[in-house]
Amino acid sequence: SYELTQPPSLSVSPGQTARITCSGDALPKQYAYWYQQKPGQAPVLVIYKDSERPSGIPERFSGSSSGTTVTLTISGVQAEDEADYYCQSADSSDIYVVFGGGTKLTVL
């Protein structure tokens, strides 16, 4: 079955830049989406179609794509950005939705 691979954890200091990667063979053909989930809360969509930002999401969140890897970048990380981040896409059959395993971002 198709998988998206993310690093389990990442630690950054406030004000630094966090880059979370997500790898998958179908990513050159399928859009990627990113979600932020804080403890006890439902996920929130922060990036769609690789690099688009929904209204209400701070400009410090951005997305990019290169080959089989997509990247969520958080510039000028703030304490409130500490959360789990999940990438999501579809497999090459265009039927199945797949989530990455999630990356726990810790703001030191």
Determine, following the binding rule CB under 8 A, whether residue 98 of this chain makes contact with another protein.
Answer: yes
- Among 7, 21, 23, 48, interactor with another protein by CB under 8 A: 48
Residue 39 neighbours by CB under 8 Å, 6+ apart? none
Nearest to 2 by CA among 85, 66, 64, 88: 88
Nearest to 4 by CA among 33, 20, 25, 19: 25
- Among 45, 58, 106, 108, interactor with another protein by CB under 8 A: 45
- Among 20, 30, 63, 82, interactor with another protein by CB under 8 A: 30
Nearest to 72 by CA among 15, 2, 7: 7
Determine, following the binding rule CB under 8 A, whether residue 72 of this chain makes contact with another protein.
Answer: no
- State the residues that interact with another protein by CB under 8 A: 1, 30-31, 33, 35, 37, 42-45, 48-49, 52, 54, 84, 86, 88-90, 94-102
